[in-house]
Structure 1
Amino acid sequence: MKLAASMTRIGIETAFEVLVRARGLEAQGKHIIHLEIGEPDFATPSHIVEAAKQALDEGWTHYGPTQGQPELRTAIASYVSRTRGIEVGPERVCVVPGGKPIIFFPMMALIDPGDEVIYPNPSFPIYESMINYLGGVAVPMPLVESRGFSFNLDLFREKLSDRTKMVILNSPANPTGGVIPKEDIAAIAEMLRDRDVIVLSDEIYSRMSYGREVVSISTFPGMLEKTIILDGFSKTYAMTGWRMGYGVMPPMLVDAVNKLMVNSNSCTASFTQRAGIAALNGPQEPAEEMIAEFRRRRDVFVQELNTIPGFRCPMPEGAFYAFPNIEGTGWKSKPLADALLEQEGVACLSGTAFGAFGEGYIRFSYANSMDNLREAADKIRRFFAST
């Protein structure tokens, strides 16, 4: 029995692969500093946990609407309208188990074999994986360090074609920590407004900005009807294991996403949706305090990385990743990431785990304690001093 040919085109998320290797080394007694996995190291805020407990006690343990509970969709619509400065109603909201279905389902609904999808590179690897799986043509847009890891707009204009069906944006970005400037977003919107193309705007890190304004392309004239906003609870509210995300999309896509959802998951867990209402409508101080702590860690860790010979680390403007340029070390990205794990117990990711244009970089998550971040930097310095 052979697997379907399409399975040869589907990729993986290297962070989980490296996590397994790191856990294996820990099982052998090795001390590992985990800077590979992209999740907050904070506990889910207590009021959200209590809301889930109450929901279980109240019997929210059965099937719910495929599109999501009306109360949660109303809370999401209000939150998105308020934070983006747009007007959307709950009828545009689809609640799904995690953010990835809002990558996969709209692509399945829109992308035919041969359709082109422009996506950032390096970027979250599931973008390219799903484009390839569906038989689309992945058109990478190199992220330019000198532009704060934003697009080269002239190159973007050149890559647009009559076959372009979708453009993917991610700001703040994984793995670079870059935030696309408002003027660049405006220029991209101007290029796309009159084209038959849809934008998948991955805004999962939208609350995690450290200065530069985060702007959604949906706010520009004519773009709301051409934009899918991807967001969720995992990062902002430290709810990665709860598996709950959502998309806000044009009405023509809602039915298609619901069909794919009912064929794959039926619905998102009911009690977690009650917790989601508490997350959006309850106290925001825990999220704000977590983000402030990430900023403090960023400042310290980037300063430490820039003292390592051969490293050049731009200051990330959002998310919780440092993405240093390591070309000055003479190492390629994957061999260096592997060596740091095996020899020093510092788990990180090769820039090439996020696409071919990630060569020359490695990614660290600074969602770890200040002590561990300083220890990791010391271990990296020790590695280069001994090689």
Structure 2
Amino acid sequence: SILEFTDNAFVLNGFSKLFAMTGWRLGYIIAPRDFVRPLQKLQQNFFISASSVSQWAAIAALRDAQKDVERMRKIYNERRVFLVSRLKELGFGLATEPRGAFYVFANAKHLSSNSYDLAFDILEKAHVGVAPGIDFGKNGEGFLRFSYANSMENLQEGLRRIEKYLQAR
């Protein structure tokens, strides 16, 4: 636990991404002992408890899913490496390569100053969904967010379509 190294840390996390349990609405917090009771009071007054089925699923995930998690990490890493490489080949800039989640935030300012219009144009003409950077704040303008939470085959096809879209511009 992080609290072995410092008594000043809070860790807030969930099961959605790590265990592929989106929709189960499960999370947890690791906190210094002095904060446990105040946090319990907040939880009791602001959040409805998770269903017993969700809680049992979380226990099973924690006990039995480590091999699955490692397999998923390997697969996501392969997709990440592929997507980053292809985006660079297609001329997108990356300030940093992602180390978590399953998204790449790519600079598309050379294509358009309006990320919303660009994302919509890609959707309309290439039939590939990307998120406009402006959706993540004003500093995201000119960027597009690509997800690699799909099969390698679909990523390859999506990037082939984006390449064709870029060639037609």
State the Cα distance separating 1:252 from its structure 2 match.
4.2
Cα RMSD (Å) of the superposition?
1.9
| Cα separation, 2, equivalents of 1:274 and 1:294 | 26
Whether contact under 8 Å (2:19, 2:65) holds in the other structure is no
Match of residue 303 from structure 1: 85
Alignment of 1:133-148 (within 5 A): none
Gaps of 5+ in 1: 1-80, 88-218
Q: 2:131 aligns with which of 343, 346, 349?
A: 349
Are residue 261 (structure 1) and residue 43 (structure 2) matched? yes
Match of residue 19 from structure 1: none
TM-score between the two structures when normalised by the length of structure 1: 0.41
Change (3 A) 1:279 1:374: same
Aligned with 1:327: secondary structure? coil
Are residue 276 (structure 1) and residue 58 (structure 2) matched? yes
Alignment of 1:146-295 (within 5 A): 219=5, 223-225=6-8, 227-295=9-77
TM-score between the two structures when normalised by the length of structure 2: 0.87
Aligned with 2:110: secondary structure? helix
State the Cα distance separating 1:283 from its structure 2 match.
4.1
Are residue 312 (structure 1) and residue 93 (structure 2) matched? yes
| Cα separation, 1, equivalents of 2:137 and 2:33 | 32
| Cα separation, 1, equivalents of 2:42 and 2:18 | 26
Change (3 A) 1:334 1:253: farther
Change (3 A) 1:349 1:224: farther
The letter for the 2-side match of 1:224 is D
Structure with greater contact order relative to length (CA < 8 Å, sep ≥ 6): 1
| Cα separation, 1, equivalents of 2:78 and 2:48 | 41
| Cα separation, 1, equivalents of 2:7 and 2:134 | 33
| Cα separation, 1, equivalents of 2:33 and 2:124 | 50
State the Cα distance separating 1:273 from its structure 2 match.
1.2
Whether contact under 8 Å (2:112, 2:118) holds in the other structure is no
State the Cα distance separating 1:259 from its structure 2 match.
2.6
Match of residue 149 from structure 2: 367
| Cα separation, 2, equivalents of 1:341 and 1:331 | 17
Which is helix-richer, 1 or 2?
2
Match of residue 14 from structure 1: none
| Cα separation, 2, equivalents of 1:288 and 1:299 | 16
Number of matched residues?
Answer: 168
The share of aligned pairs that are identical, in percent, is: 39
